Chain A
C-alpha cells in the first residue's frame, strides 16, 4: 500500500507535527517504504487467533480507591514551560 502526499499531510496533522512541502515529500518516500516492509504481514491467515496486547497477557492491576498522593503541584509544575497561579498556560482556545 503506498501513500500519496495528502495522506502524509493528514497523518502529520493527526500526529500534531508541522511538516512543510519538502519534508512531506521525504516522509512520503520513507513512510511508503516502511508500509511496503510491513505488507508481508497481510499474507498470513490469522483467522481465529486472539490478538495479544501484552506479553503473557498481563492484566492491569487495580488498587484501592483511596487518596495516596499528597499535594506536590509546585514541584510537578516546576518543569512546565509556562505556569501561573498553579495553572498551565496555553494560547487562548475560547473567545
Chain B
C-alpha cells in the first residue's frame, strides 16, 4: 500500500481486501487507533473496539471461505439515530442515554451482520455510533445532548447537521463511510460543510425500521462517503423493500453502481454526460447567496457543461415557502412521534414526581433539550383544536404545490442543481440563540425533502477561509442512478472530493 490505509475509500478498500493485500483486522485496528486520536472532533458517541475487532475477524473468515461481497470487512459507523444491538442508541438525546436496543435497524443489519431472519448482511465492520443533533433536529450538531461535533476543516466551525458526526468522521478520514438520515437536509448540508459526498435517496428507498423517528413522512436514510462511487456501493447494500417499514417502496433490489456506470446515448469518454439536461432553478441563486458559494457552484456547473451536460433555466417559485411548510409539518409529526417518550417503556424517567402527570411532564422536561421542546410545542400547537386547518392543512396543501413545481421542472430537465446551503460552515455557537435564523439556512434542502425526491451533495471546491462548498443535485423519483452518474462524472474530472483537511493530518 503506497497510501495510508485511512486515505482509501470503500471501493479501493474492498478491492485491496479481495486481492489479499489487506485484512479487515489490520484495517480495523488502524482506524480504531485513528478514531481514538481524534476524540477532540466529538464525532463519536459510542464505540466498542472489541466488538469491531470481532466483526473484522469474522469478515476475514468469511472472505477466506469465499463468501465475501464488495463491502465485507470495510469499516463503517452509524448515525446514532439508527438503533444497534451491542452499542447504546441515543439519537443524541439525554432521553435515551445508555439505551440498549433489543434489535438492529434494517439499514444496520443489511450493511452489517444480517437480520434475525437469517438474511446475510454485507459484512461491514461497525466501529461505533456517530454524534448528531438531538432526534436529528438541527443543522449544526450543536443540539446534541452530548456536546457538539467539530468541522475537521476548521475546529472552530460547525460540521453541519443533523448528521454532523457522520460528515466530520468521513471528512477527517476516520472512516471511509458513515450512515446518515435526512429529514430536511440532514445528510446533504453536513456533507456540504465537511466536503464529502452524501446522498439521500427517494423517500421509501431505505427502510425506516429501527431509525428513531423524527418526522415520518420525511425521514429517509442515506450515506456519506468520499465519492459518488462509494455512495453507490453502500446505497445498493442498504436499500430495498422491507416489510417492517409500512412506507417502504416495493421494488426489486437496485444496483446503483451499475446504473451509475451505464453509458449514456451519444456519450464519449470526454463527454460522459452528453445530452444530460441540468435545470438551474433561478430561486436557488438569490442575491443573498454568499458570493463564495455562488462562485464554487458556478465553477462545478461549468465542469458539468464541459462533460456534456446542458444547463437549463427553470423555476421553483415556492422555494421560500418551503421553510414555513417544513417548519409546520416536521414539528407536527415530531410532536406525535416523540409522545412515546413518557418515562414508561424505555428511556429516561424523572426521579422526583408526585403523580402520573407530573412524572410525564418532569420526565420530558429533563430528557429533551431546548430545540426538541420548541419543535414539540410548535407541533402540538399547530395540531391543536382551532389551528389545524390554518396551519397543518394549509402546509400540506402547499407541500403538494411544491412537489408539483418539481414535476413541472422535470418536464424541461433531467436533474436539478444548485447550492446545498447559502453559506459555508458557520462558527460554533453563532446561531444557537436564534432558532429562526438557523431555519432560514435550510432553504435549498427543504424543497426536495418535502417532495420526497432524491438529493446529493457533491464537493464543489472551497469558499471563504478554505471551507468546503457542496453542489446539490436533485433527481426525479427513483432516479438515484442518474444523480450518481452526474456526480461520478464530475469526480472523474475534478479532485475536490479527494481533498483532505489539513486538520485531519494532525491529531
Q: Please list the residues of chain A having a beta carbon within 8 angstroms of any beta carbon in chain B.
A: 7-8, 11-19, 27, 30-31, 33-42, 44, 46, 49-56, 58, 60-61, 63, 72, 75-82, 88, 90-93
Contact = CB atoms under 8 A, between A and B. Distances in A.
Interface in B359-413: 359-362, 364-365, 368, 373-374, 376-378, 380-381, 384, 390-391, 393-401, 403
B174 to A, nearest CB: 29
Contacts of A54: 203, 217, 247, 452
B377 A11 contact: yes
Given A41-B324, A41-B394, A81 B343 contact: yes
18 contacts: A7-B381, A12-B377, A15-B377, A27-B374, A31-B374, A37-B323, A41-B321, A41-B325, A41-B391, A49-B401, A56-B452, A72-B102, A75-B102, A90-B344, A91-B353, A91-B354, A91-B355, A93-B356
B328 A41 contact: yes
Given A31-B378, A51-B400, A16 B364 contact: yes
A17 B377 contact: yes
Interface in B333-365: 335, 339, 342-349, 353-362, 364-365
A46 B398 contact: yes
B507 interface: no
Contacts of A36: 436
A68 to B, nearest CB: 9
B204 interface: yes
Contacts of A16: 339, 342, 357, 360-361, 364
Contacts of B361: 13, 16-18
A81 B344 contact: yes
Given A16-B342, A18-B364, A55-B452, 16 more contacts: A15-B376, A18-B358, A18-B361, A30-B374, A31-B378, A31-B381, A36-B436, A37-B327, A44-B401, A46-B398, A49-B401, A63-B243, A80-B345, A80-B346, A81-B347, A91-B359
A53 B345 contact: no
A41 B381 contact: no
A76 B374 CA distance: 30
B28 to A, nearest CB: 29
B263 interface: no
B137 to A, nearest CB: 13
A34 B380 CA distance: 13
A17 B365 contact: yes
B471 interface: no
Interface of B: 99-102, 202-204, 217-218, 243, 246-247, 250, 320-321, 323-325, 327-328, 335, 339, 342-349, 353-362, 364-365, 368, 373-374, 376-378, 380-381, 384, 390-391, 393-401, 403, 435-436, 439-440, 450-453, 477
List 7 tightest A-B contacts by C-beta distance, closest first: A55-B452, A51-B396, A52-B400, A38-B324, A81-B349, A46-B397, A18-B361
B397 A56 contact: no
A7 B477 CA distance: 41
From A12, A36, A39, A77, name the one whose CB has the most chain B CB atoms within 10 angstroms. A12
Contact of B399 (A33, A52, A61): A52
B374 A15 contact: no
Nearest to B333: A53
From B247, B349, B439, B450, name the one whose CB has the most chain A CB atoms within 10 angstroms. B247
A15 B398 CA distance: 26
Contacts of B339: 16
B428 to A, nearest CB: 20
Contacts of B377: 8, 11-12, 15, 17, 27, 31
Contacts of B400: 49-52
Contacts of B335: 15
B240 to A, nearest CB: 15
B246 A61 contact: yes
A63 B246 CA distance: 9
A75 B339 CA distance: 22
